[in-house]
């Protein structure tokens, strides 16, 4: 997701990465995230989804290459589950 698309998306929660292991990252947040919530990770806005909640720690599965992510990078929630709009030609 580009920065301009991220600005148009209502962000419900935000946090900061503190742990990275391949496509899985953990972030801390004082704001509530929900299970299966779509999130944007890092400055590039990588597509991801919340897979675990544990107090103020949120575990996130990133669906893109995480090379270049660093502790301290932002995580922004979308307030809704990950979804894809389908049309007649895609079914």
Q: What is the mean pLDDT of residues 31-58?
A: 96
Mean pLDDT across the chain: 88
How many helices (DSSP H) and strands (DSSP E) are in the chain? 1, 6
- pTM recorded for the entire structure: 0.81
Give the whole-number percent of the chain exceeding pLDDT 90: 74
Query: pLDDT, tens digit, for every residue of 56-76?
Result: 999 999 999 999 999 999 999
Q: Does residue 29 surpass a pLDDT of 60?
A: yes
Q: Residue 83: what pLDDT? A: 86
Task: List all residues 6 or more positions away from 16 whose beta carbon is below 8 Å from its beta carbon.
Answer: 27, 28, 29, 71, 72, 73, 74, 75
């Amino acid at each position: 997701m580009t920065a301009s698309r991220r600005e148009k998306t209502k962000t419900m929660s935000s946090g900061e990465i503190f742990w990275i292991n391949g496509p899985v990252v953990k972030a801390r947040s004082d704001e509530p995230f929900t299970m299966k919530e779509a999130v944007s990770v890092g400055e590039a806005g990588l597509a991801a989804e919340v897979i675990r909640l544990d107090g103020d720690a949120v575990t996130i599965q990133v669906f893109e290459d995480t090379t270049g992510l660093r502790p301290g990078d932002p995580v922004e929630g979308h307030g809704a589950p990950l979804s894809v709009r389908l049309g007649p030609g895609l079914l």
